[in-house]
Amino acid sequence: MPTSFKALAELCEKLEKTTKRLLMIQLVADFLKRLEPDEVKPAVSMILGRPLPTYSQKTLEVSWATLSEIIKRITEVEWKVFMSIFGKTGDIGSATKTVFEKSKVKKQATLLERELTIKEVKRSFEAIAEAAGQGSREKKERQIEVLLSMASPLEAKYLVKIFIGEMRTGFSEGLMEQAVSKAYQVPLDVMQKASMVVGDICEVAEIARKKGLEGLSAAEFKVFRPVKLMLAQMASNVAEALKEHGGKTAFEYKLDGARVQIHKLDNEVKIFSRRLTDVTKSLPEIVEIVRKNVNAKEAILEGEVIAVDSLGNPVPFQHLMRRFKRVHKIEDAAEKIPVRLYLFDILYLNGKSLISLPYIERRKILAENSGDIPLTEQIITKNRKDAEKFLKQALDDGHEGLMAKKPESVYTPGIRGKRWLKIKPVLEPLDLVIVAAEYGYGRRHAWLSDYYLAARDAEKGEFLIVGKTFKGLTDAEMVEMTRQLKELAVKEEGRRVLVVPKIVVEVAYNEIQKSPKYKCGMALRFARINRIRDDKTPEDADTIQRVREIYERQFLKKGRYKTE
């Protein structure tokens, strides 16, 4: 019997009300056991707040402005009721539930409605994502209105949360791996390995349900299905990196570009961004370079694309992002913003996964299969002075700093660890999310140009403000930022606009100080935006735990008052 979406919403409501991880895992495991095989993938995706699988290249492209207009139309409730509830809870889903409960129109309609199922909701999300071309906006709105019209208040709460990607139940992908392991009685380590290789816990859960341990053990890379990237932590200097890696490590240039994952099968090449979005059409010259130089039948490679000037010198990251956004008149863009590819890793070659090999072996295999495509500059050394000289050379060449990679390290997709370290000779910048903005003054009076910056609480899933700034963006960037933020606007409080946390920016600052102004108890001093990180999602943003770690680390060299 098909599982109702109401059952999934009720599960999410229980998750939201508990902080006990073992109980959360048990609740989800019990729910998964009851699902039909073809319900597992969409259910897992929705519980994690995703309307579509991670590997899907389609997006809903639905703004909060559109959603709010549809909710007003369906419920006929005065919008000040929504704003009042949102002001008390700060949760869009809860405010939606309340207006649905207060709607007389919705109550009458609900009596005549049949129950929504998980599979019906999945089909609705797919139809919304597939609407394209002339009249696509109207098609999307009709689909959304039909879906929400069928929903009960509780279902509407979680549909809206999934639409905007802000689930806030505290149930992470790591906990989902444990729940799937428990539900289908498969070892957690096998689950986690399959999840790394496949790159999507939703698909892995489906394999576990249908094929069990045997299916998970056979999970392999699949060309053109992007894999999560291995992530790095920060190191203060080369000495710290050498110590962490046992006295010897591989230092590489850290380029100021965009990380890409390149897939090749025969003569077909696809390029995926850090967010695993297909950017192939935006980089035709990179596709051609890979075709000409990589002779392997099948390969998954990693590299960095940088923008360069007429002399081949690297230029700032924001120029490169214009290329990644461009899908029309590519030839003009390629002429104005030429790009260059550097490779640094290989994950898969001719049917064989390489991620379990030591890094230095992967690098050797990469060099043998990259043709004339340059690899990132590298030295392997035990000598601190040699490493510091190499760092200076990287900076003199216009790059950001160095990566330090433990020579014997395996590749762990989606995992952030100390096997890879980033070294930048400045105070560590933070990737933060804009959660609100204010209109400026003078010539900025029409722009949302003063931004509230938040870090993600890794335990609770909420975003906590750590500072605000109006510095760093150009006028053109502020105009575009205003347009985007207005589409994400949830509530207006005088000159301040609260927004759905979607836009990530890299923020520089002088220090982190204690502050009673914000809930987290900390604030960035002299914050300024370095660049807009279109290549990152809110889930990629730095956590409040990392901000606190940096704050505490400041006192290794500084004194602190007794009240600290």
Question: How far is it, in rounded angstroms, from Cα 6 to Cα 121?
Answer: 11
CB atoms within 10 A of CB 189: 9
- Virtual torsion, Cα 505, 506, 510, 514, nearest 10 deg: 60
Exposure letters 539-555 (e unless 16+ CB within 10 A, then b) = ebbbebebbbebbeeee
E-assigned strands of 396-503? Answer: 401-405, 416-423, 430-439, 448-456, 463-469, 489-493, 496-499
Q: Residue holding tokens 């969409």?
A: 42
Cα separation values, 342 from 253, 254, 275, 281, 377, Å: 10, 11, 19, 19, 9
CA angle 505, 506, 509 (to 5 degrees): 125
The continuous run of DSSP H or E covering 385 comes out as helix 384-396
Which stretches of 90-185 are DSSP H helices?
A: 92-102, 104-110, 118-130, 136-149, 153-164, 173-183
Nearest residue to 320 (alpha-carbon basis) of 336, 332, 337 = 337
Question: Residues near 551 by Cβ (< 8 Å), separated by ≥ 6?
Answer: 512, 513, 514, 522
E-assigned strands of 216-338? Answer: 231-235, 249-254, 258-265, 268-272, 298-307
Sign of the CA dihedral 459, 55, 353, 347? negative
Question: Residues near 41 by Cβ (< 8 Å), separated by ≥ 6?
Answer: 53, 202, 203, 205, 206
Sign of the CA dihedral 41, 43, 44, 48? positive
254 catalytic per annotation: yes
What is the amino acid identity at position 533?
R
Answer yes or no: are the C-beta atoms of 421 and 238 closer than 8 Å. Answer: no
Half-sphere exposure of 371 (CA within 13 A, CB side): 13
β pairing state of 231-235 and 416-423: parallel
Answer yes or no: are the C-beta atoms of 83 and 491 closer than 8 Å. Answer: yes
Q: Is 168 left (phi over 0), alpha (psi -120 to 50) or beta?
A: left
Nearest residue to 141 (alpha-carbon basis) of 69, 193, 210 = 69
**Choice among 157, 222, 228, 254 that is catalytic:** 254
Report the residue count for the chain: 564
Question: How far is it, in rounded angstroms, from Cα 201 to Cα 40?
Answer: 11
Question: How far is it, in rounded angstroms, from Cα 539 to Cα 346?
Answer: 25
The gap from C-alpha 195 to its chain's centroid, in whole angstroms, comes to 17
Q: Which positions are annotated as active-site residues?
A: 254
